[in-house]
Structure 1
């Protein structure tokens, strides 16, 4: 992510005269997931200084309350005298009575290795900075230095976008840059290459903590390079990375949690899949998605996320573009780079397409309002049941299929989404000028005309209408088809321990299950007097039936036996596939347009 531009201007006076806050972090008790953090804050002008743990994290939009993993907090002055500490709220420590310097220390428990939290064990210290380091909001403009006390017995090394000061000490120009700089400390491997751009060379560094071989890393790194270069072609150039380097921080280990998280000059990539066990193909999509964010969201930045607030949720109505259009390019880039085939790419769109356009949620929220839901869904936690099957569509998915529609619509006008993204990059990203949604419409109007832009935004962004995908996809030799003979139930059902079927999801509105008043948690015990179809997947059982078939269902709800009648409807799902798979040869015009779209020869 990126914070407001002023935070990253290396103003000479501030560098020369600002005080430096110092941290030290050590990992002697890594086996029990503990780190000890110490901080020194000199030249303090006020009697009381508030220290906080962040409640949110760069790239995330929900609250995470990192203070819950902090204990053994102590504060002293420069001579070691214990200072008074007050707790005005769950995430703050107010320290008073110092002598101009405050030294703090605390223990952090950390055991989730992903993009949001930190993980400390004897394989690595995987640090998301807001989840790890306490900070003083009043001192946010100060330079920071942090000494990572590596475990030499475990052959640990430090990898981060932070510039090296000396030894294992790294620096940041201010708090905001520090918070945006994840760090991987482990016995990792490194591969790198240089990209020359406008006469200037920049380094792309890939750090991998894994249990595999160098040969596997070398093969994977070739796909990383292809992905980076294919994305550079979309925008025409790389961003200008601070310190001339972009760093992928990848952990493909059994104790990681699958995730990806973008930052200004680096990204976290985590997966339990090793390269030898599916990761060579399964993990590269996250590489594609997160690196695309180096332009779209880090520098092409919604004004609604400027500056990022560590003390509350960060809400934006532009996530359909920032995250969704990035998702559109994720697999498109892999196809263009030759990592996946055109057939696999097109087939892969079907699931996302169905999730969006068969969702009842379209009647409730447009893409902007879906984006507003991020604080409730972006790794957020709650214990009360929700109805998201019927009321929410991920802005990742919604924006992705809208990106597809916009790209193919532009291509009908002999234009394309790549050049639109270049123009947005030129006007807002490269200049690091935060945008509002109206700015995106203005750029589209400049590129494709006022009528084109007004139609797209008024129908599909400010409203929830569905573009004419059948015509658009046909223009590039892709068929969109529904199976009018496949029956549809409308809820997920799985076997329980008694050979019955429990409904696992809220039935979709207007589906057969919904109309027949079945609900999540109901246990189906009998269908048409034959018991529940034990020994096979329920979806396979339904597929053998016919549209219009009547199912007399006996079920239990709250321990009470009930009965209902359900009539199967046609499955509303779509399938996308290359036209030639249907036995029809695409025209030369269709193949030419497909080639321009996928950048692939046929």
Structure 2
């Protein structure tokens, strides 16, 4: 179902497949509304179920897009209104038709990111599942959609869909349609060719041509370095891959991969920090063209639009992609080796200082995605102590595996190529055991079994001192004292903004989120700077006064050591280690 070839073969053999037609217009864009019309012809069943998706490709949680739909109507081929019963929160049952069911409704959309849609007078930023209803029984039918663009706003269309006319596009089936985000705006476009395939970059922004040209040069270098990892580009449908970038003040920061395109959104323009701040998302999402879109977890195939999607492989699918994000920026000369290496510390500290290691392995962290992947809930959680992002966890494990392989004169690039040839190029989905099997084939059974048993099926920490030393990097731990709290300044004192870590002095002292620290050792605390100075010079046990629910309380604790690591280039590393580092980080 994921390949266009198979879909077209299906149509050729059936010969009489009908096309579902969509039209969307934006007359009331100023109020974030779109009018949508859908026509389902050749309906053979007495009733037809029309529904809105609850999730979106690349996301794993539920988003309940139907909440922004209203004015729903159903008509027959003559325009006569027919019966439409609400069958649940997400669907309508339409009956009494004459073989044709026409649907119309209004959509409110005002969040521009990789999950939702946004309509205003700057653009129509459309994530398809958040925009269009569908009939599940027609999932194999081709789709045609007309974007009734605002010519008065100079809008154009950018999408991975196949263009049929000026504003009409097609998809071979429902899945491809749902997987095809669309940016409609007065964007700028640049492109380059790699081995006969076109890489397009549509940029909706307020910046200059000079900034776009500088940014696009970085994009081109990243694409070529990522191609070098796998040895080839995927065979993109229609011979084209499209970046849909929207760097505007009205959007929300995000990135979302799709089969032949990706959404990139951020409030920062290229001139206001976006040149450096946004390019990492470019590297991450394009790597997904191989890892996730084609090297694909079995649990996500086919993707379920009606339920949350869960897989235990996100440490690999998202995490290893995150490892390559920074590495590609270095190899593409967007970051210096020094910037890349020192930048590893943030993710490293987040993962290996987390109390959550005692609860979940990387696989089990991946299972948490339906609850954390842009999921919404109103009750507080204890994620500080129970969850590590599979992006970060997988990233530091990818780093460990790469450096471990390099000690055997192997590397992660060649392992990823093997995954590509076995599961990506063939588009045969994999299970976790298949990743281990390929690693055994590449690096040996003993090596692969030890890595998976210690670090994937369990939560042990690799010997990073040895691994970093092999490439001339120093791993050092801070000697500073630490209470272990995140603080916000308030009129009443310093408010603890997050749950305290189980391993921290604050946790052991009974301090928790919402407490307001007012004094330490009798000294009134009025700023975070003052707090840091007192903690830095304190010795022995300290006395802390704080307010909780309006009540004054006192506690005592022994300060712990700051658990943070620093990671840096070892200027005195042996020549062999320096050569290993250069080989690891150099452009391919």
Band the TM-score falls in, shorter-chain normalisation: over 0.9
Change (3 A) 1:563 1:494: same
Matched, 1:431 2:426: yes
Matched, 1:58 2:52: no
Displacement of 1:16 in angstroms is 4.0
Q: Is the 1:554–1:563 contact (alpha carbons within 8 Å) kept by the matching residues of 2? A: yes
**SS where residue 80 of structure 2 aligns?**
coil
CA distance in 2, matches of 1:21, 1:58: 21
Matched, 1:590 2:565: no
Displacement of 1:550 in angstroms is 2.3
Query: Match of 1:573?
Result: 564
Query: Match of 1:144?
Result: 143
CA distance in 1, matches of 2:367, 2:127: 25
Displacement of 1:587 in angstroms is 1.7
CA distance in 1, matches of 2:528, 2:507: 23
Displacement of 1:483 in angstroms is 1.3
Matched, 1:454 2:435: no
Match 1:300 to one of 295, 298, 308: 295
Change (3 A) 1:570 1:167: same
Matched, 1:226 2:218: no
Matched, 1:290 2:285: yes
Deviations 1:79-113 (A, max 9, x none): 11111111111110111100000111000000000
**SS where residue 166 of structure 1 aligns?**
coil
CA distance in 1, matches of 2:53, 2:527: 49
Query: Match of 1:240?
Result: 235
Matched, 1:497 2:488: no
CA distance in 2, matches of 1:412, 1:551: 46
Match 2:514 to one of 508, 521, 531: 521
Displacement of 1:555 in angstroms is 1.2
CA distance in 2, matches of 1:268, 1:253: 13
Query: Match of 1:467?
Result: 462
Match 2:474 to one of 474, 479, 493: 479
Equivalences, count: 588
Matched, 1:488 2:475: no
Displacement of 1:553 in angstroms is 1.1
CA distance in 2, matches of 1:421, 1:10: 31
Q: Is the 2:483–2:535 contact (alpha carbons within 8 Å) kept by the matching residues of 1? A: no
Q: Is the 1:368–1:461 contact (alpha carbons within 8 Å) kept by the matching residues of 2? A: yes
Query: Match of 2:353?
Result: 358
Query: Match of 1:563?
Result: 554
Change (3 A) 1:542 1:51: farther
Displacement of 1:490 in angstroms is 1.2
Query: Match of 1:545?
Result: 537
Query: Match of 1:186?
Result: 185
Displacement of 1:525 in angstroms is 1.7
Query: Match of 1:393?
Result: 388
CA distance in 1, matches of 2:61, 2:413: 31
Query: Match of 1:49?
Result: 48
Query: Match of 1:92?
Result: 91
CA distance in 1, matches of 2:527, 2:485: 19
CA distance in 1, matches of 2:507, 2:3: 47
Change (3 A) 1:234 1:543: farther
Change (3 A) 1:9 1:426: farther
Q: Is the 2:323–2:395 contact (alpha carbons within 8 Å) kept by the matching residues of 1? A: yes
Matched, 1:368 2:367: no
Displacement of 1:545 in angstroms is 2.4
**SS where residue 28 of structure 1 aligns?**
coil
Q: Is the 2:494–2:527 contact (alpha carbons within 8 Å) kept by the matching residues of 1? A: no
CA distance in 1, matches of 2:222, 2:89: 43
Change (3 A) 1:572 1:185: same
Q: Is the 1:527–1:551 contact (alpha carbons within 8 Å) kept by the matching residues of 2? A: yes
**SS where residue 170 of structure 1 aligns?**
strand
Displacement of 1:501 in angstroms is 1.1
Q: Is the 1:3–1:176 contact (alpha carbons within 8 Å) kept by the matching residues of 2? A: yes
CA distance in 2, matches of 1:433, 1:509: 42
Change (3 A) 1:16 1:189: farther
Q: Is the 2:54–2:306 contact (alpha carbons within 8 Å) kept by the matching residues of 1? A: yes
**SS where residue 537 of structure 2 aligns?**
coil
Q: Is the 1:491–1:507 contact (alpha carbons within 8 Å) kept by the matching residues of 2? A: yes
Displacement of 1:13 in angstroms is 2.1
| TM-score of the two chains, using structure 1 as the length reference | 0.96
Give the superposed CA RMSD.
1.4
Change (3 A) 1:240 1:6: closer
Displacement of 1:503 in angstroms is 0.8
Displacement of 1:298 in angstroms is 0.3
CA distance in 2, matches of 1:542, 1:434: 56
Query: Match of 1:599?
Result: 586
Displacement of 1:205 in angstroms is 0.4
Q: Is the 1:493–1:538 contact (alpha carbons within 8 Å) kept by the matching residues of 2? A: no
Matched, 1:421 2:416: yes
Displacement of 1:542 in angstroms is 5.3
Change (3 A) 1:153 1:458: same
Matched, 1:195 2:190: no
Query: Match of 1:40?
Result: 39
Change (3 A) 1:253 1:410: same
Q: Is the 1:5–1:432 contact (alpha carbons within 8 Å) kept by the matching residues of 2? A: no
CA distance in 2, matches of 1:7, 1:245: 18
CA distance in 2, matches of 1:300, 1:256: 30
Unaligned residue ranges in structure 2 (runs of 5+) = none
Unaligned residue ranges in structure 1 (runs of 5+) = none
Query: Match of 2:130?
Result: 131
Deviations 1:35-55 (A, max 9, x none): 000001111001110111100
Q: Is the 1:250–1:268 contact (alpha carbons within 8 Å) kept by the matching residues of 2? A: yes
Q: Is the 1:7–1:174 contact (alpha carbons within 8 Å) kept by the matching residues of 2? A: no
Displacement of 1:497 in angstroms is 2.4
**SS where residue 575 of structure 1 aligns?**
strand
